[in-house]
Structure 1
Amino acid sequence: MCPVNLNAVALKMKRLLKYFGQCVFCSAILLVLLLFFGCKEEDKTVEDISKVQVDFSVLRFDREFAQAGPNDIPNLKEKYPFLFPEQFADSIWIAKLEDTIQLQLSGEVDKTFGDFKKETEDLESLFQHIVYYFPKFKLPEVITITSDVRYNDRVILTDSLLLLGLDNYLGKDHHFYRSIQRYIAKGLDKQYLTSDVASAFAKKVIKYPKNRSFLSRIIYYGKELYLKDKILPYTLDAQKIGYTSEEMEWAQTNEEQIWRYFVEGELLYSTDSKLDRRFLDPAPFSKFQLELDSESPGRLGRYMGWQIVRSFMEKNDIALEQLLNISADEIFKKSNYKPKK
């Protein structure tokens, strides 16, 4: 069945009925027509995206280094100069070839990712969608590495390179992550890799707000997540935001209560920087300062911003690139957002 946006269909139908009157027969005919042409439009978009040509390569530096010997270091340095800082002598890299931890990391990455075929296909789909919506985007050269589990730098996107630290995606219960806080470790799973790449791209095209209000910041993250809706259409919402399925269900179930807390507490236009730590930054849970805190997932402010942006886009005929430059106040006012009950 075609994934038609029913809210958008309802909005169009409401507009058309102004001209045709409240006729039940007309309503039925209009609904059928809107669903039909909505499917056609969705199908056309999917077809157009599938035709987008993306020519990129994935270089498995992690494997090349794991299989290298001391005599191969000069060739690797020539091929990947940006991965070999000049201040480090060759002896450092030769010693790393035989380092026990490095050998274990390489082995675990190989066990988890194998030939990287599935991930390459996911990246191809992501790049097709990005190029479709952002034709000026230049495809980066993708290079897989091990990074000694530097999870804060697991994905690095520059104008020409995409570095993926695969040792940061071995699964939340991997023994390499035992000393890492659980709320961080749960995101160190390969199911989140493509979503993390999408986040890195989002930072390139969405400006962080100068306005210090809480609303402007939740809308900023809402734009990022809505962008993922468009460039990762086959990815679960939980994966887009970095939640487990249980955390996603909690957010959806409690959306009305979260919104009431934000509104009644007059948080939307507050400039209190502590709100970032409570509702936007990665954390084991959100901080309502209530008994339910321990049950909640972190970053619920981002989730709420996402729902506001979705509501705005359902009610307004705006291109994706236009959305990214619209102010938070305008998005909020024109969203007529009402939480799900």
Structure 2
Amino acid sequence: MKKYLVALVFLIGILSCDKKSKVEKAVEQIPLELKVYRFERAFFEIKPNELANLKAQYPFFFPEGTPDNVWIDKMQNPQWQELYHEVEKKYSNFGKQTSEIEDLFKHIKYFFPNAVMPKVYTVIADMDYNNKAIYANDKLVISLELYLGTNHKFYEFPKYIEQNFEERQMMPDIVASFSLGKIPPPREKTLLAEMIFYGKQLYLKDELLPKYNDAEKIGYLPEQITWCQENESYIWRYFIEKELLYSTDSKLPNRFTNMAPFSKFYLEIDNESPGRVGQWIGWQIVRSFMQNNKVSMQEMIKMDAKELFEKSKYKPKKTDE
């Protein structure tokens, strides 16, 4: 009997790899070439008397009503210039990143054939860490000042935010922004609906970023993923015993799904936990659903959270007490 089980597991593994290889082979055949425009380079290297030409070339980066002297002061400001030189030091050659973006959009085109392929613009903005990469309509804007690496001298943010300022977070951030136009916002204000919403987003990263690991997809450190895996059954039991899944308590997102230094169980384990454990649990629920149901990704992302959960057959992995 044991031999049959081993053979079955081996066969499933082969079939799974074969399916993945078929997808990747199909993705490779998709013709795609994206154009990257280095706006930050154009802005910080022009002379003030060339500003009018730049504004004509990139009108969407220059809001109406802003006097020219504001832009001239910025391009000549020593601190902005220093930041620009730091970005240039790391991203003077954007070839590798361009190839990764092209590979990502080939995957997007495979799963979402009608998706608009954008023009890509790199910029240096105001360090808005909530909008590091923005996919909108026919444009993708990437703020390079937020991918200089954790502990860069220009950063004065909490560590749990800075840990996502690595170059490797660029593609997951692009997927997160892209997903906002594909995944409907939660219909209900329950914790479960929030968890499933983020779980769908993370599942898109599974499919669109097959070369990335779980920590990179969710923006955790490796030890934070390990903590979630080791405490999965405990987290789930807590949610059930406290009857949190269908609760609409407005404090729950800040406790379990929003960016935070740790999750708030109001217990001793809080300081050991990463923030957003609700997102991670939602991810496992969506993964379980896709494993147990023959549904396309497009159908899944439109599903009601409660229905998806009930059909997921989700059971947390048991760990030794």
Shift of 1:119: 1.3
Shift of 1:36: 4.2
Shift of 1:175: 1.7
Number of corresponding residues = 318
Give SS of 1:332's match. Answer: helix
Shift of 1:71: 2.4
Contact 1:55 1:139 in 2 (8 A): no
1:27–1:184 distance in 2 versus 1, CA, 3 Å: closer
Bigger shift: residues 46-55 or 24-33 = 24-33
- Which residue is 2:316 aligned to? 339
Whether 2:248 is the aligned partner of 1:261: answer no
TM-score (norm 1): 0.89
Whether 2:243 is the aligned partner of 1:290: answer no
Cα deviation digits, residues 231-259 of structure 1 (max 9, x gap):
01111111111111111111111111111
- Which residue is 1:220 aligned to? 197
Cα deviation digits, residues 295-325 of structure 1 (max 9, x gap):
1100000000000110111111111101111
Give SS of 1:193's match. Answer: helix
Shift of 1:26: 7.3
- Which residue is 2:64 aligned to? 86
Taking the aligned partners of 1:144 and 1:52, their CA distance within structure 2 comes to 24
Shift of 1:335: 1.3
Question: Which residue of the other structure, out of 118, 131, 135, is the alignment partner of 2:96?
Answer: 118
- Which residue is 1:208 aligned to? 185
Taking the aligned partners of 1:235 and 1:166, their CA distance within structure 2 comes to 20
Cα deviation digits, residues 29-56 of structure 1 (max 9, x gap):
7666554444332221110011112232
Give SS of 2:307's match. Answer: helix
Contact 1:149 1:167 in 2 (8 A): yes
Question: Which residue of the other structure, out of 311, 318, 321, is the alignment partner of 2:295?
Answer: 318
Unaligned runs of 5+ in 2: none
Unaligned runs of 5+ in 1: 1-22
Taking the aligned partners of 1:169 and 1:88, their CA distance within structure 2 comes to 28
Q: What amino acid is the match of 2:218?
A: I
Taking the aligned partners of 1:262 and 1:111, their CA distance within structure 2 comes to 46
Whether 2:306 is the aligned partner of 1:329: answer yes
Taking the aligned partners of 1:33 and 1:306, their CA distance within structure 2 comes to 26
TM-score (norm 2): 0.94
Contact 1:147 1:165 in 2 (8 A): yes
Taking the aligned partners of 2:88 and 2:55, their CA distance within structure 1 comes to 22
Contact 1:213 1:270 in 2 (8 A): yes
Taking the aligned partners of 1:125 and 1:184, their CA distance within structure 2 comes to 27
Matches within 5 A, 1:190-209: 190-209=167-186
Taking the aligned partners of 2:316 and 2:179, their CA distance within structure 1 comes to 25
Question: Which residue of the other structure, out of 190, 209, 234, is the alignment partner of 1:232?
Answer: 209
Shift of 1:290: 0.2
Taking the aligned partners of 1:26 and 1:248, their CA distance within structure 2 comes to 33
- Which residue is 1:134 aligned to? 112
Percent identity of equivalent pairs: 43
Whether 2:222 is the aligned partner of 1:245: answer yes
Give SS of 1:172's match. Answer: coil
Give SS of 1:177's match. Answer: coil
Matches within 5 A, 1:126-205: 126-178=104-156, 180-205=157-182
